[in-house]
Amino acid sequence: MTEYRFETGDIVTLKKQHPCGCKDFEILRVGADFRLKCLGCGRLIMVARQLVEKNARGCRKPEKN
């Protein structure tokens, strides 16, 4: 199992998709809970750290513009 180092601004791909169909989320807050922004519809969600660490399938830095 790969350990990811999560930081604010990273893009994380989760195992399960959001109801809009997107699996990629931007990390807005890191702590006991994560605040994630869906990159498909823009909805903000709060998820427990334990669930994000368990369901993460990838983590990458955002592209520089």
The overall pTM is greater than 0.85: yes
- 1 pLDDT more than 70: no
Structural domains of the chain, count = 1
- 62 pLDDT more than 90: no
Note whether residue 3 is domain-resident. Answer: no
Question: How far are the Cα atoms of 1, 2, 49, 56, 59 from residue 52, in angstroms, in the given order?
Answer: 14, 13, 5, 6, 11
Note whether residue 17 is domain-resident. Answer: yes
Note whether residue 38 is domain-resident. Answer: yes
Mean pLDDT over the full length of the chain: 92
Q: Which residue has the tokens 């830095």?
A: 61
CB contact set of 54 (below 8 Å; sequence gap of 6+):
none
Note whether residue 65 is domain-resident. Answer: no
- For residue 44 the two structure tokens come to 């903000």
Q: How far apart are CA 55 and CA 65, in angstroms?
A: 28
Q: Is residue 2 very low, low, confident or very high in pLDDT (cuts 50, 70, 90)? A: low
Q: Is residue 65 very low, low, confident or very high in pLDDT (cuts 50, 70, 90)? A: low
* Structural domain boundaries, residue 31: 11-60
